[in-house]
Amino acid sequence: MQKNDGMNYAPVGTFNSVCKPGEFIFAAAALDHGHIYGMCNGLREAGGELKWVYDPDSAKVDKFVAKFPGVRVASSLEEILQDPEVKLVASAAIPCDRGPLGLKVMDSGKDYFTDKAPFTTLEQLEAARAKVAETKQKYAVYYSERLHVESSIYAEQLIKQGAIGRVLQVIGLGPHRISLSNRPDWFFEKEKFGGILCDIGSHQIEQFLQFTGAKDAKVVHSKVANYHYPQHPRFEDFGDATLVGDNGATGYFRVDWFTPDGLSTWGDGRMTILGTDGYIELRKYVDIAREQTSDHVYLVNGDGEQHFAVNGKVGFPYFGQLILDCLHRTEHAMTQEHAFKAAELCLIAQRDAMRITSN
C-alpha cells in the first residue's frame, strides 16, 4: 500500500470469499489510475477471479501483471468483451473516457465497475442511465473514501445503531498530496479530469448522501480555484461546496491538493457527522502527531466520549456485496440510483462553481 501516494493507494484486506471458485470471473481494462489495484484487490479478496488485463500501454500492463501474477494479457478490449466467462470489467480509465467505456462493457452483456469520478459531463451520465435501463447491466462506482476506509464503514454502522440520533450535517475534508512529478498530462487538463469537484469531490458527495440518508440534494453554492499552479491554467487545486438534502440535512466539504510533504500520508482526510444526539469524527488516514495508524473514530454522545481504532477490524464488505449483486441481480452493495445521484450532484457542483481569481 502506497501510504504517501494517493494515486496508487490500494488498501489490502483479508480474504473472505462470498462465492465458489470460478463462479465470479472479472477482468481489468484501462489502467490509467492506480485505483485499479485497490479495486482488483477488493474483488479478489471477496472471491473474484481476475482472468484478463488489457491496456494499450505495455508498461502499465507489465506493472499490473507483476502485482497479479497469472492474469492473462488480452490483445484488445474486444478479447475481454467477447469472453462469455467474464461477468464484470473493472476500469480506471482517464476520467473523460470512463463513461464511454462503460457503455461498451454493458453492451457486451457485462457489468461495469469504474473508478470515481464515473463521468465528466452530465451528457455521459444520461447516456449511462439509458444504457443501464436498456441492458439491465450494472454501472458500479468505486467511491473508495467510504467503501475502502474502515473508519467510514464503522461510522455507518454507528449511525444505523442510532448512536448519534438523526444525522443533521456532514462536514468533509479531502486534502490530497499532488506529487507533481508523478502526474500524467491528463491530470492537468480539465476536459479530461472533469474539475476538482467532479473528481475528488465525488467522494464527499457520495458520503453525504450515504450518512444522511438523503436521496437527492440541492447544491446551494460551490467554488473552485487554481491558487498555486499557473503553469497549468486549466487545473484546479481547491474546491468546496454546500448542499442541502431532500430530508433537510446539510453538508459542506472542501477538497484540495495542498497536503504538505511533512505529513506521513497522502492526505489528512477527516469527516465530522453531527446528529441530534451526538457526533462522530473520522480521522481516516492518520491521527496527526499522535498515531500514524489509520481509521480512528471518535464518538461523543449521551454515554460520554469514546475512541475506536478500527484499522484491520471492520473489513471491506462492499466488494463481496457487489459480487453477490452481480450474481443474483440484487442491489445490496449500492443502489444504481445512489451511484448515479452522487455523480450527478458532483457534476452540477462543478458546472455551477464560482471560479475564484487568485492574485
26-30, 86-90, 309-313, 354-358: the lowest-pLDDT one: 354-358
227-253, pLDDT tens digit by residue?
Answer: 999 999 999 999 999 999 999 999 999
299-349, pLDDT tens digit by residue?
Answer: 999 999 999 999 999 999 999 999 999 999 999 999 999 999 999 999 999
Task: Categorize the per-residue pLDDT at 15 as very low, low, confident or very high, splitting at 50, 70 and 90.
Answer: confident
Query: What does 134-155 look like in DSSP terms, one character per residue?
Result: HH---EEEE-HHHHT-HHHHHH
Cell (9 digits) for 190: 480539465
Residue 4 pLDDT greater than 70, yes or no: no
Q: How many CA atoms lie within 13 A of 159 on its CB side?
A: 26
Give the pLDDT score at 225: 98
Long-range CB contacts for residues 238-241, cutoff 8 Å, separation at least 24: 238/196, 238/356, 239/195, 239/196, 239/197, 239/201, 239/353, 241/197, 241/201, 241/204, 241/205, 241/349, 241/353
Give the pLDDT score at 1: 45
90-110, pLDDT tens digit by residue?
Answer: 999 999 999 999 999 999 999
Residue type, 329: R
User: Is 356 strand, coil or helix?
Assistant: strand
On average, the pLDDT of the chain sits at 95
pTM greater than 0.85 (yes/no): yes
- Do residues 249 and 167 lie in contact, with contact meaning Cβ atoms separated by under 8 Å? yes
Give the pLDDT score at 10: 65
